[in-house]
Chain A
Amino acid sequence: MAKKSGLGQNFFAHGYDISGDVGAVNNLTISRAELLSTGIDKTAVERLAGIGDGSVDFTAFFNDAAGQEHVALKGMPSTVVMWTWLVGGVASSAVGFSGSVQQMNYAATRGRDGSMELGATGMAREGYPPFEDHVSVTAGKVTHASAASSASIDGTAGTTRGGIGLLQFFSRASGTPTFLIEHSTNDSTWATLLTFTNTGGASPFGERKTVTGAVNRYLRFTTTGTFTTAIAWVGFRRGIVGDTTDLS
């Protein structure tokens, strides 16, 4: 990996690809409360990590076409939504952030020059740290004409602390696709690592699902079932030492 610009990114809002409408991600913060815990026997501050939090704020150009910014954001759902920002671009194994958030606002600005911008903010709501980093298992959005597997990614080594699967389902032409992440020690024999709970239907959605235990070196995205032309993105975060939730 090397230093990169912010060009060529994607932003998905709970199954809507609004990458072409989002003009700026103004802020993404992953934070922890600071708990001062300095003993009288110390000569500098001691701190403990408190409760975690996170938020993201972005500005989009007004677009009320099907599947675009206004459709994705105008509803202000009271339920959790998953937002994904592919900061490393759309290649497989590229890094990004996903968060299960509460959409907190939807704010419009019309400038004197005729410009029209809308902004939205998402904040933590599910009791676990939002905006987990991950790598893309797929090369951005991928299309499966029918049940298939996308090309695998190589994690260079297996891990033992579980992980988090992340899915953005955009659409399908017909039928009901089921979405899996498979893992392999050898890029040849595959075992099903996790199955996402939601299956593809008429409505787009995002889903976060955890898995415990061993995660083998290679990962790939697979669809099963009878369907045509399903479009989705999948990411995965391997658990590491120091995670607030140990998925070993």
Chain B
Amino acid sequence: MFVVANPRGIPAGIHVLRTAAKEWYEGDEIAVTDVKDVKDFASLIAQGYVIEVKDG
């Protein structure tokens, strides 16, 4: 699964990521079904906005 991180130190209560349809805050899980709606997901991972949490 994927979890939203906060590499920029954005204050609590302010979204870290958003698309036209949805906002995500630090600690929010991005459902696998939503990943397809988030363009360039790989760059968000590379920049630390999203962390992949692997089972186990």
Q: Does B19 contact A (CB under 8 A)?
A: yes
Known contacts A182-B18, A224-B15: A192-B47 contact under CB 8 Å: no
How far in angstroms is the closest Cβ of chain B from A191? 5
Contacts of A195 in B (CB 8 A): 10-11, 14
Within 8 A of A (CB), among B34-56: 38-41, 43-44, 47, 49
Interface of B is mostly: loop
Contact of B38 among A189, A192, A211, A216 (CB under 8 A): A189
A99-B22 Cα distance, complex, nearest whole Å: 36
Contact of A190 among B8, B10, B18, B43 (CB under 8 A): B18
Contacts of B8 in A (CB 8 A): 191-194, 211
Contacts of A156 in B (CB 8 A): none
Q: Does A150 contact B (CB under 8 A)?
A: no
How many A residues are at the interface, by size bracket? 10 to 19
10 pairs of A and B residues whose beta carbons are closest in the complex: A186-B39, A185-B40, A188-B39, A189-B39, A192-B10, A185-B43, A186-B40, A191-B49, A190-B18, A189-B38
Interface of A is mostly: strand
13 A-B contacts (beta carbon < 8 Å): A182-B18, A185-B39, A185-B40, A188-B39, A189-B39, A189-B41, A191-B17, A192-B10, A192-B16, A194-B8, A195-B11, A195-B14, A213-B47
Q: Does B20 contact A (CB under 8 A)?
A: yes
A193-B39 Cα distance, complex, nearest whole Å: 17
Q: Is the CB–CB distance between A188 and B11 below 8 Å?
A: no
